[in-house]
Structure 1
Amino acid sequence: MCRAVLCRLLVVAMLVAPALHASPTRRAKPPATKVSSQAALDAFHQARHCLELGLNIESLSNVRQICNRDGVSDRCSASRQAWRAHRIEQFQRAQSGCSADPKVQEADFRATLIAAVATGDPDVEDCYVEGWSNATSADIPMYVRTSEQLIAKGLARGDWRIVAVLANPIEPEGLAGAGMAINLPQLGSWMTDYRFNRLLWLGARGQYADMENFEVEAAARWLRPAARRRADAWAQAEFRRHFSHSPVLDQAPRGCLHVEPAD
């Protein structure tokens, strides 16, 4: 199971102009806030890289253990097991400069994400809305308050990744893989499920459009016809306003953390 993570920091942009009497060859000192913003982004990217390496090692190791327990099959052939061992070694070699402790990886990701969110970087903002693992009750008010603002920004810029978080389907045991996002007040209703999967469907093509249509129809069973019409009108209007020039989707928007298939 993937561990997820996210973040916040206040950075005020201030430009420092060179002095009028400065030498023509003398360079102005870089603005401190600009340097701080870049440092925050660099720290976040490094922490995410380290966490992704750890998650890939964990995923591959888990499947290897299952295969060792269950015996030979197509999934657990000698060649597949050798490939997994090779990939684990590659990921471990790439961990230079990273902690190998999953708890440290998660803590670093959370801290750097929170520190980088105020830079306004869309990638960081999307990661924040996705949430993080091992959250405490003290994290939730800050997360919800900040995410509400970031969701509005993400929709306004036509960011499919934000839509995908809100389109998280409702499962019998709860929200499927929602992580911290389960605390968002709009998440968890059939109306939200329907509206945002309908919006994804409007931007989708091919097999992915068929998958999204299945999600839309599943949610539609729980809504009255009038509610569905309102949701359809909302999705159409939102698509025209903000997503008509966004990339066409032939697969689900990629999330914050990438873990390659272990099979």
Structure 2
Amino acid sequence: MTIYAVPDIHGYSDELDRALRLIGEDGGRDARIVFLGDYTDRGPDSRGVLDRLIAGRSEGRDWICLMGNHDRMFLRFATEGQENDRNIRSRLSWLNARLGGTQTLGSYGLAATGTPAFLHPANGGWETLASYGLGTGEQLTGQELIARARTAIPEPHLQFLSDLPLWHEEPGLLFVHAGLRPGVPLDEQDEDDLIWIRDGFLDDDTDHGRLVVHGHTALDAPTHFGNRIDLDAGAGYGNPLIPAAFDGTDCFLLTETGRVPLPPPG
């Protein structure tokens, strides 16, 4: 059975549509697809991406959607009012343009006019929102923006994000957003590692017992490292979204001209 994977979408619903078309041409409507997380932030249509994923699953498509770090940041902002995550070394707010929260809120009718104003503690603490301007001329505080977001974001979107699993297994394959902590059993992995890890995973070349398929770390092109495959080719930065097909552990990238093998190094 061929398994398909779609890496980080980051609010680019047009790229998602193209990836789904390529998968449909290769494997048909009933193809099993694993989405690797990061459906939101940076791109212009996070709402549209979630609409498509929710609709596809409601129609009975064989779609497995995993949690990404940006999805959790969005969920925590909307449900808990959190704009910071301890895993962000730069200590930026989720609403900073570099992380893309403002673009996500914009897709729900809360587009910022100009650049939001932030507070930056002198001791190098966390960046926090000071004011957020709307097209109506209103200037919202952080708490006011949270309240507006809770009204604007449909409950099915929040429920979808709340229910996302952290990994998915197929014979010989482990699908996860960011990676895993080497040497730690899967059921003992820390959630933060599964959706955020880079150090200790990207530089590890040991056999994880299966081929790990992940996104999270944007590269110039999908790359096979032998023990893992990173499919994130930077769709969140405006690059094409490249889906992949797996026949066992053999990986093929899907393009407009058909399959392209993605072999291991050497």
Give the shorter-chain TM-score range.
under 0.3
Structure number, greater radius of gyration: 1
TM-score (norm 2): 0.26
- Which structure has more strand as a fraction of its residues? 2
Q: How does the TM-score come out when normalised to structure 1?
A: 0.26
